[in-house]
């Protein structure tokens, strides 16, 4: 299979210490996007990445994204974009990744220094960002370098889009991509996002779908300020009483959403789609291991994967404005805001979901006969995405993965990333 | 009425600047019991109070209460106890008050510096602790001093018990009182707690009852750690889903507790008791003003006062372990703890309340058919108290209040202080 690539793969092996060293340098930069004081490190990481790409012969630009919304004293780190190759006879692949990381410290339970790449006795590498997402980003640089050193022509043109705010909501990226879709990125024939999960630890996956997310707030308010339950308990209608009743009406223990009309928006399961689930390397044991419990909804693998990928779900996340600390406080909160979200799937249009949610929550509140005020709003909506797993980009990725891993990758979806 | 006291009352007027100055000195000591760094100020306040009492001729002791539970590096402030007078022919009154205060700062919305006594154009005094509870405590010192300067014999023996941790759960006081009930406090014929509220702003009140409080936690847990709702939503049973369903089953919008058997524990309303409510200086307007809204449960004054004083109430205070910040977070919390409390009244024995609550919550959880774990526990219980408003101590207090205020005080209960 693909003998013309033997030289390339040999170079990969030869260069492995160099590649690990490249990852070590990247891990050592604490590019934590959520921490204001680390912003210079995020910028430094972007510059380092741009320099590495330039050294490999890519045309690189660091594009400013302006000020950080809500923190206008802070510049967003630049998005590093690059082009490698400009051959009209080749396909052009747009590669996405991010060079920022989440916070990490020994006090969070790390066994090794998070910003120091550490290799254990089984050759497993530990370091913040080594998998999410510095490793995958550097994989593209390594691929370019190994092609060059093997004297093998790079088979596609690459466009790179590496951002520095992914772990903090990808601030500024949407506008940038919209603006450049028909400009810098106009040649892209396919997109490859190097920032996904495997289902387990043994078999690679190619992701062809993603659930969306519609996130709602339900605010119930009454009194002008928080009250003491000793003084006012039994005389005033309490917003928290109303809110828990509304939240309790949304979904049952087995995940069945109680909002009428929502299930009807979901695309029916075809025999063709159904046949995809059986072969996937996943088991209830794997689910229970990742849950850390056996509190699963469904008894079998197929229905569990469908529950994660192709059916909607509703989660109640918490309550803002109520007592949330350890211990006891006898407060009657004056205004409480329940938070819940719905994972959406084809063919649920976000606007239809909103309409059904608002109508149902309103009805539930009206049933209570409360004098309190209720207001249900959408915080944000991200739409689901699904592609055909038979498209040429998936075929190519599947072949490549099989060449390296010796096994056909699973074609999977994701439950939702936001 | 009581002409032998005219000299005393004259002295009160003469000494008023001196009394205000005494309060000013007390307010200036930021004796905040909840703030570790202020502990030396709490101790200083106790010492100042002890010195003032000693100067008036009382026998004073500062009793240590040991280390603060959970903060063993911190000494509790002393309880200041004192005896003034030891005449076997007089009754002995035990007076309780506290010399600590809650935190306060301009940033909390104070219009004036909280630790500086400020007098406005209507002679109203502002300063942290001026009413709760430094003013009432100093009132006893002022009464002693005015008697002395008027040459009027003090009509009772006084025992004082002034603590420094009231605003932080009265840590250490229970054990101290139990130990001294038959020792230092053994001569007490009646107790006067100088730390109560008036119902409104025009008419003094004498309190003859207090609701109790039984505070519960309901913990629901399942997964081994918090989960991401994108990845696990629709595959795992969510503790928060179960918890809001349990919390929703406890009480309705109009405060009706749904726990069977609880209402049967409540002492029936007698005609005698019913007759007490009509005259009390309270109105629905006063309730609405203190609520800051018109979201009251009952339409009339009598039923509202009963709802506050002589019937139980149930409040849901909040949820620990769930997402409680502003904004959006798509977490499935692994373990959530709902907090609720019941205000108890005669004749609800706390043990009976516990039994009914545990049974009901267990039943509600079992109905869900959940694989999650649920555990309902009592955090703390404080028993209700009720006395006869016809006892001589209330008659005496009533006469005294009428002499000063020109109006018979209302005989009230309190809804609960904890």
Nearest beta carbon to residue A315 from set B238, B312, B379: B238
**Could you report the average pLDDT of every consecutive run of 10 residues in chain B (418 residues)?**
86 97 98 94 98 98 95 95 97 98 87 96 95 96 97 97 93 95 97 88 91 96 95 97 98 98 97 89 94 97 96 97 91 96 97 98 98 96 92 94 93 83
- Supply the CATH number for residue A235's domain: 3.30.70.360
Q: Is A195 a catalytic residue?
A: no
What's the pLDDT tens digit per position in A256-301?
Answer: 999 999 999 999 999 988 988 988 999 999 999 999 999 999 999 9
Closest residue, chain B, to A311 (C-alpha): B234
Is the CB of B231 less than 8 angstroms away from the CB of A329? no
Counting residues of chain A whose pLDDT is more than 70, the rounded percentage is 99
Q: Is residue A399 part of a domain?
A: no
Residues 167-226 of A with CB under 8 A from B: 197, 211, 213, 215, 222-225
Instruction: With beta carbons under 8 A apart, name residues in chain A contacting B197.
Output: 231
CA dihedral A105→A108→A111→A114, nearest 10 degrees, is -30
Domain boundary among A137, A163, A195: A195
Check if B313 contacts A (Cβ < 8 Å): yes
Check if B324 contacts A (Cβ < 8 Å): yes
What's the pLDDT tens digit per position in A84-134?
Answer: 999 999 999 999 999 999 988 888 889 999 999 999 999 999 999 999 999
Considering the domain architecture, whether residues B118 and B243 belong to the same structural domain is answered as: no
- Supply the CATH number for residue B124's domain: 3.40.630.10
Considering the domain architecture, whether residues B257 and B135 belong to the same structural domain is answered as: no
Residue of B205, B235, B299, B377 to mutate when probing chain A, most A C-beta within 10 A: B235
Considering the domain architecture, whether residues A168 and A261 belong to the same structural domain is answered as: no
Task: Measure in Å the smallest separation between the Cα of A131 and chain B Cα atoms.
Answer: 18
Is the CB of A414 less than 8 angstroms away from the CB of B231? yes
Which residues are bridge partners to A94 per DSSP? A159, A191
- Stretch A149-177: mean pLDDT, rounded? 95
Mean pLDDT (chain A) is 95
Considering the domain architecture, whether residues B35 and B9 belong to the same structural domain is answered as: yes
Considering the domain architecture, whether residues B240 and B340 belong to the same structural domain is answered as: yes
What's the pLDDT tens digit per position in A172-218?
Answer: 999 999 999 999 999 999 999 989 888 888 899 999 999 999 999 99
What's the pLDDT tens digit per position in A130-156?
Answer: 999 999 999 999 999 999 999 999 999
In chain A, the number of structural domains is 2
Considering the domain architecture, whether residues B176 and B31 belong to the same structural domain is answered as: yes
Check if A366 contacts B (Cβ < 8 Å): no
Domain boundary among B195, B228, B245: B195
Is the CB of B241 less than 8 angstroms away from the CB of A230? no
Considering the domain architecture, whether residues A43 and A133 belong to the same structural domain is answered as: yes
Q: Is residue B107 part of a domain?
A: yes
| Three-class HEC string of chain B | CCHHHHHHHHHHHHCHHHHHHHHHHHHCCCCECCCHHHHHHHHHHHHHHHHHHHHCCCEEEEECCCEECCEEEEECCCEEEEEECCCCCCCEEEEEEECCECCCCHHHCCCCCCCCCEECCCCCEECCCCCCCHHHHHHHHHHHHHHHHHCCCCCCEEEEEEECCHHHCCCCHHHHHHHHCCCCCCCCCEEEECCCCCCCCCCCEEEEEECEEEEEEEEEECCCCCEEHHHHCCCECCHHHHHHHHHHCCECCCCCECCCCCHHHCCCCCHHHHCCCCCCCCCHHHHHHHHCCCCECCCCHHHHHHHHHCCCEEEEEEEECCCCCCCCCCEECCEEEEEEEEEECCCCCHHHHHHHHHHHHHHHHHHHCCCCEEEEEEEEEECCEECCCCCHHHHHHHHHHHHHHCCCCEEEEECCCC
For residue A2, the model assigns a pLDDT of 74
C-alpha span between A268 and A311 (Å, rounded):
10
- Catalytically active residues of B are 100, 166
Considering the domain architecture, whether residues B133 and B255 belong to the same structural domain is answered as: no
Asked whether the CA dihedral A183, A184, A190, A196 is positive or negative, the reply is negative
For residue B168, the model assigns a pLDDT of 87
Task: Measure in Å the smallest separation between the Cα of B83 and chain A Cα atoms.
Answer: 33
Domain hosting A319: range is 212-267+310-382
Q: Is residue A37 part of a domain?
A: yes
Residue of B315, B348, B381, B382 to mutate when probing chain A, most A C-beta within 10 A: B315
Check if B244 contacts A (Cβ < 8 Å): yes
Q: What is the ipTM of this complex?
A: 0.82
Q: Is residue B253 part of a domain?
A: yes
For residue A418, the model assigns a pLDDT of 63
Considering the domain architecture, whether residues B180 and B111 belong to the same structural domain is answered as: yes
Task: Measure in Å the smallest separation between the Cα of B250 and chain A Cα atoms.
Answer: 9
The pLDDT-based confidence of A4 (bands split at 50, 70, 90) is confident
Q: Is residue A394 part of a domain?
A: no
The pLDDT-based confidence of A1 (bands split at 50, 70, 90) is low
Considering the domain architecture, whether residues B159 and B245 belong to the same structural domain is answered as: no
Residue of B34, B196, B214, B229 to mutate when probing chain A, most A C-beta within 10 A: B229
For residue A105, the model assigns a pLDDT of 86
């Amino acid at each position: 299979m693909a003998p013309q690539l033997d030289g390339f793969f040999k170079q990969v092996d030869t260069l492995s210490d160099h590649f690990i060293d490249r990852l070590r340098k990247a891990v050592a930069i604490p590019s934590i996007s959520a921490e204001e004081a680390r912003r210079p490190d995020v910028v430094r990481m972007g510059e380092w990445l741009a320099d590495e790409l330039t050294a490999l012969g890519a045309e690189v630009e660091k594009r400013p994204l302006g000020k950080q919304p809500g923190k206008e004293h802070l510049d967003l780190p630049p998005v590093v974009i690059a082009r490698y190759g400009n051959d009209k006879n080749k396909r052009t692949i747009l590669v996405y990744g991010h060079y920022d990381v989440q916070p990490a410290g020994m006090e969070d339970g790390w066994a090794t220094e998070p910003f120091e790449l550490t290799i254990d006795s089984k050759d497993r590498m530990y370091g913040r960002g080594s998998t999410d997402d510095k490793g995958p980003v550097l994989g593209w640089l390594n691929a370019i370098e190994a092609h060059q050193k093997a004297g093998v022509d790079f088979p596609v043109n690459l466009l790179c889009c590496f951002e520095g705010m992914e772990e903090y909501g990808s601030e500024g990226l949407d506008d940038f991509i919209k603006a450049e879709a028909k400009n810098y990125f106009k040649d892209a024939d396919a997109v490859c996002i190097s920032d996904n999960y495997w289902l387990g630890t043994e078999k690679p996956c190619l992701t062809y779908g993603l659930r969306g997310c519609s996130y709602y707030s339900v605010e119930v308010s009454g009194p002008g300020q928080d009250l003491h339950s000793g003084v006012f308990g039994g005389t005033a209608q309490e917003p928290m009483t109303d809110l828990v009743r509304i939240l309790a009406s949304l979904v049952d223990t087995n995940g069945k959403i109680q909002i009428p009309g929502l299930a009807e928006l979901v695309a029916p399961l075809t025999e063709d789609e159904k046949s995809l689930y059986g072969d996937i390397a996943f088991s209830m044991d794997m689910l229970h291991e990742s849950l850390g419990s056996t509190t699963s909804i469904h008894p079998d693998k197929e229905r569990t994967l469908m529950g994660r990928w192709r059916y909607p779900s509703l989660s109640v996340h918490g309550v803002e404005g109520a007592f949330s600390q350890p211990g006891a406080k006898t407060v009657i909160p004056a205004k409480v805001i329940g938070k819940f979200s719905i994972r959406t799937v084809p063919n649920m249009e976000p606007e239809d979901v909103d309409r059904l949610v608002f109508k149902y929550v309103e009805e539930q509140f009206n049933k209570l006969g409360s004098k309190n005020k209720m207001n249900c709003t959408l915080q944000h909506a991200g739409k689901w995405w699904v592609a055909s797993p038979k498209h040429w980009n998936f075929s190519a990725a599947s072949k490549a993965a099989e060449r390296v891993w010796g096994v056909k990758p699973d074609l999977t979806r994701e439950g939702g990333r936001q």
